[in-house]
Amino acid sequence: MTAVDEIKSRIHIEDIVNEIPSVKLRKSGKNYTGFCPFHDNKRTPAFVVFPDSGTWRCFGQCNEGGDLFKFVMKRDACDFPQALKTLAAKAGVELEPLTPQRKEEDSHRDRLRQLLEETALFYQHYLTQNTQGKLALDYLTGRGLTTETIASFGLGYAPPGWDTLMSHFTGRGYSIDELKETGLLSENPEKERVYDRFRHRVMIPIRDGQGRMAGFGARVLDPNDVPKFLNSPQTVLFDKGRLLFGMDHARKAIRDRDQVVIVEGYLDVIVLHQAGFTNTVSPMGTALTEDQLRQLQHLTRKMILALDADAAGAKATMRGLEVARQSLDRGDEIVFDARGLLHEESRLRADLRVTSIPEGMDPDEVVLRNPAEWEAILQNARPIVQHVMDTLAAGQDLNDPKVKDGIARQIIPLIEDLASPIERDTYRSRLAVMLHINEESLMQLQPGGKGERRQLSRRRTRPSQREPVAGVEIKNPLRPLENHCLRLLLFKPDLLPQLEDELKINRFPPLSVDDFQSTESQEAFLLMARAINQLDESIRDFFWNNRPDTLESFLLEINRGFNLENTPDERIYDDLFDTINRLRLAKIRESIDTIRFLVTDLSGWEEQQVDEKESLQEYYRKMSDLTAERLRLEKALQPDINLH
């Protein structure tokens, strides 16, 4: 039995959920019902705990669920390893000790973080206690920052010398290699010389979501210096694709307000926090990555991307539509990649909106001029497709057929990328009205023409066996399907793009972490996605070389005795497609049964505790959506049977 299984066997999920008083769990049959703790919900008991399977699900606004670990991860806004440590301590389960190599690596990382902490104090001293920092201090106060804000964010000043920092820290016992490894020194191989990377700049410490030092951002004071902004290089601690500036300050506010605002600049974040808009963060000068969006999704699904007029305007929007995926890999500028953002919005089931800032102004200038103006800008945020429609149509002659055709051809692919059929129909109607054309004309621009969806012809073959893993007690009936899906993906990961194409053609959402209920399965799938998206190693090598210790036992268990070496790829693919659809169908059938249970369970609540009419409306709406999806999945599994 793995440590995860041991913890689940010792801790009752209902006890953990009951630690949040607002849930008000009550026993109903073999399950528990209550109010979801993750969204504002006081009158509709749509949160259900299933003790038999050790899982939970919200059938209301969140539409989320998972196991014990997922609940703690969402409650504490932490990752799986941290949730594992928390619950292991609570259950009295001793986690396997780290290997000597891992202990050495962790100790080394701790020393590097300590070096960065001391460096932040070094820069702060030069800003506030040394006359050399006066120019930097005047610059910061001139930007509207108070002494308290400067101290809160630990801002500092890097002195102009080429070896000032190096001399100071080698004198304190740190090696040149350690200074280079943290990105504090740069190297000129031709001259065989190392020197301070940051000189005569305002220094901004960058911390991860837990408040641990990762690196620095630096802004010039001399207008002749380049580049204007300079970050730490990629290091073992500083990964700009995973970090969000201000996250350590913003975490609680994002959860409390159920919204995050994403801006472009470090100083924008700092001034907005000073003005009370503490749910604001910034990426590291690049386009948003899936890792960054997923961090935010743990706290909220409501995200506003606040772009300056240039980035939000027609020229940048067109460029973003043209370069699409390429923009995610560009590190020198923020590109408004509408298709990329829609893809991530769908995968994460987020509500991502876009707003633009007045031309020639930065967010900090707006909020310093009038905080109410910034609030109004956020209120005017629009969904991505609507933003693109309005932007491309602005200033155009919409009576010109060529203009109409050009705009339609840019927007229809975005509409087709939307996962929700209701959203697709709504935006097609809006586009037709905006362009003063018949909606049927737009349908002809879709793949297949006139809205017809091409079905891939697949030879149906008998799937391979889906036996539960021997020696593991499986209480959750979905677990065997999850394990089998992961086994197939691990054995043949290059089938995933083909699978994604077929799911999209059949109007099914792409395979995502939400298809898995077990936290271990979710973590394994996320690692698989990372392996597929990187190019440095083979997918298998990357996966197995980067697997965390927390997944070791789980991966060994699900792959034990599994071998498809002599099985044709077509048969493996059909098995994978069927397994995913059966997994989704099983989850939907469970959900339908649970909603029926919730309807009958309403009578058990006191009248003043619930709004029966509102609850029934929400339950029946959810039931209708699930029933429609169930019919589509059943048809996909039996393509030759007409269910209508």
**DSSP secondary structure letters along 560-622:** TT---TTS-HHHHHHHHHHHHHHHHHHHHHHHHHHHHHHHHHGGGS-TTT--HHHHHHHHHHH
CA distance 251 to 254: 5
Q: What is the pLDDT of residues 300-311, one digit of tens each?
A: 889 998 877 555
C-alpha angle with apex 485: 482 to 487, nearest 5 degrees?
110
Q: Are residues 82 and 115 in the same domain?
A: no
CA distance 180 to 488: 42
> Residue 291 is part of a domain; what is its CATH number?
3.40.1360.10
Read off the pTM: 0.59
Contact 116, 237 (CB under 8 A): yes
Q: Are residues 380 and 418 in the same domain?
A: no
Buried b (16+ CB within 10 A) or exposed e, 89-126: eebebeeeeeeeeeeeeeeeeeebbebbeebbebbbeb
How much is the pLDDT for 309?
59
How much is the pLDDT for 282?
93
> Most confidently modeled of 21-30, 121-130, 507-516, 543-552?
121-130
Look at 468-482, 568-582, 585-599 and tell me which has the smallest mean pLDDT. 468-482
Q: Are residues 297 and 341 in the same domain?
A: yes
Which secondary-structure segment (H or E) carries 488?
helix 479-491
Q: What is the pLDDT of residues 498-535, one digit of tens each?
A: 888 888 888 888 888 888 888 888 899 999 888 888 77
Which secondary-structure segment (H or E) carries 202?
strand 201-207
Q: What share of the chain is helix, strand, coil (3-state, %, to 5)?
A: 55, 10, 35
CA distance 34 to 474: 26
Nearest to 550 by CA among 55, 9, 83, 237: 83
- The answer to whether residue 199 sits within a structural domain is yes
Alpha-helix runs per DSSP H in 100-193: 100-128, 134-142, 147-152, 164-170, 176-181
Task: Please report, to the nearest 10 degrees, the dihedral formed by the alpha carbons of residues 490, 495, 499, 502 taken in order.
Answer: -170
Contacts of residue 266, Cβ cutoff 8 Å, sequence gap at least 6: 204, 217, 219, 245, 246, 282
DSSP 352-404: EEEEEPPTT--HHHHHHH-HHHHHHHHHT-EEHHHHHHHHHHTT--TT-HHHH
- Beta-ladder partners of 402: none
Q: Are residues 488 and 629 in the same domain?
A: yes
How much is the pLDDT for 97?
67
Look at 106-110, 170-174, 599-603 and tell me which has the smallest mean pLDDT. 599-603
Contact 625, 520 (CB under 8 A): no
Confidence band, pLDDT 50/70/90 cuts, at residue 474? very low
Look at 227-236, 263-272, 584-593 and tell me which has the smallest mean pLDDT. 584-593
Residue 55 has what DSSP assignment? E
Buried b (16+ CB within 10 A) or exposed e, 173-207: ebeeebbbbbbbbeeeeeeeebbbbbbbbbbbbbb
- The answer to whether residue 566 sits within a structural domain is yes
Q: Is 455 helix (H, G, I), strand (E, B) or coil?
A: coil
- In the numeric block, which tokens belong to residue 538? 């083979």
Contact 283, 262 (CB under 8 A): yes
How much is the pLDDT for 641?
38
Question: Which whole-number Å values give the CA distances from 512 to 343, 344, 345, in the listed order?
Answer: 11, 10, 12
- In the numeric block, which tokens belong to residue 327? 């923009």
- Please say which residue of 352, 375, 392 terminates a domain: 392
Q: Are residues 385 and 404 in the same domain?
A: no
CA distance 394 to 110: 53
What's the length of the chain?
Answer: 644
Q: How many domains would you assign to the chain?
A: 5
- The answer to whether residue 155 sits within a structural domain is yes
pLDDT at 335 > cutoff 60 = no
> Residue 120 is part of a domain; what is its CATH number?
3.90.980.10
Q: Are residues 131 and 7 in the same domain?
A: no
Q: Are residues 273 and 188 in the same domain?
A: no
Q: Are residues 403 and 369 in the same domain?
A: no
* Helices first, then strands: H and E counts in the chain: 28, 16
Q: Are residues 323 and 342 in the same domain?
A: yes
Q: Are residues 78 and 8 in the same domain?
A: yes
- Please say which residue of 392, 422, 453 terminates a domain: 392
Q: What is the pLDDT of residues 251-285, one digit of tens each?
A: 888 878 889 999 988 999 999 999 999 999 998 86
- The answer to whether residue 459 sits within a structural domain is no
Cβ neighbours of 138 (radius 10 Å): 11
Q: Is 459 helix (H, G, I), strand (E, B) or coil?
A: coil
- Please say which residue of 91, 124, 153 terminates a domain: 91
Q: What is the pLDDT of residues 150-166, one digit of tens each?
A: 999 999 999 999 999 99
In percent, the amount of the chain with pLDDT more than 90 equals: 30
Determine the structural domain holding residue 185 and report its residue range: 109-231
Contact 244, 209 (CB under 8 A): yes
Compute the chain's Rg from CA coordinates. 27
**When comparing pLDDT for 337 and 35, which is higher?**
35
- The answer to whether residue 33 sits within a structural domain is yes
Confidence band, pLDDT 50/70/90 cuts, at residue 100? confident
Q: Are residues 387 and 437 in the same domain?
A: no
Contacts of residue 280, Cβ cutoff 8 Å, sequence gap at least 6: 246, 250, 260, 261, 262, 263, 268, 269, 272, 273
pLDDT average, residue stretch 553-581: 83
- The answer to whether residue 104 sits within a structural domain is no
Contact 430, 389 (CB under 8 A): yes
Q: Are residues 383 and 404 in the same domain?
A: no
Confidence band, pLDDT 50/70/90 cuts, at residue 625? confident
Phi, psi of 33 (to 5 degrees): -125, 160
In percent, the amount of the chain with pLDDT more than 70 equals: 86
- The answer to whether residue 601 sits within a structural domain is yes
- In the numeric block, which tokens belong to residue 227? 């580049």
- The answer to whether residue 472 sits within a structural domain is no
Buried b (16+ CB within 10 A) or exposed e, 268-301: bbbbbbbbebbbbbbbbbbbbbbebbbbbbbbbb
pLDDT at 247 > cutoff 90 = yes
Confidence band, pLDDT 50/70/90 cuts, at residue 453? very low
Query: CA 282, 285, 288, 293 torsion: positive or negative?
Result: negative
